Amino acid sequence: MNPRASQRTRRCSEQTIAGRRAKALEFWQSARDLDALADSPDDRTDAYISLCVLAGIAAADVICCKRLGEHSDGENHNEAIAMLARVDRKLSRHLKALLDRKTSSGYRETSSGRADKRAAGRAAQALVDAALEIV
């Protein structure tokens, strides 16, 4: 069986690229704005990380669209990471770092820490910067 046969992807148009790029910027700017409003480095950590995750996913879609003509459109995060790795292994590690934090920041009863917040910010920044450079 072809390993890509089960992977859900979506072909990209210029509208797709522009829309996903706009979302990446919107989520990233919102994360930065939220961080600026925080009363302390530990304040609003999970919301910040969640916005970073959304920014990173949208940025990864832009990168894959520009290099592969398609982006991952399934719920399997490992497929999205693998698709981005076909373009750039380092960027795929940034996406993995974000996706690894998605559940803990959005669904767990405990708050994420400062180190997770910093790591998510670095990963999102790298992906958004790459998405902007590629366009």
Q: Sketch out the chain's domains with CATH numbers.
A: 11-134 (1.20.120.330)
User: What percentage of the chain has pLDDT greater than the value 70?
Assistant: 95
Cα 3 to the center of its chain, rounded Å: 23
Q: Output the pLDDT for position 93.
A: 98
Q: How far apart are CA 95 and CA 126, in angstroms?
A: 9
pLDDT digits (tens, 9 = 90+) for 70-127: 999 988 889 999 999 999 999 999 999 999 988 778 777 788 889 999 999 999 999 9
Q: How far apart are CA 60 and CA 77, in angstroms?
A: 12
Rounded to two decimals, the pTM is 0.91
Q: Output the pLDDT for position 4.
A: 47
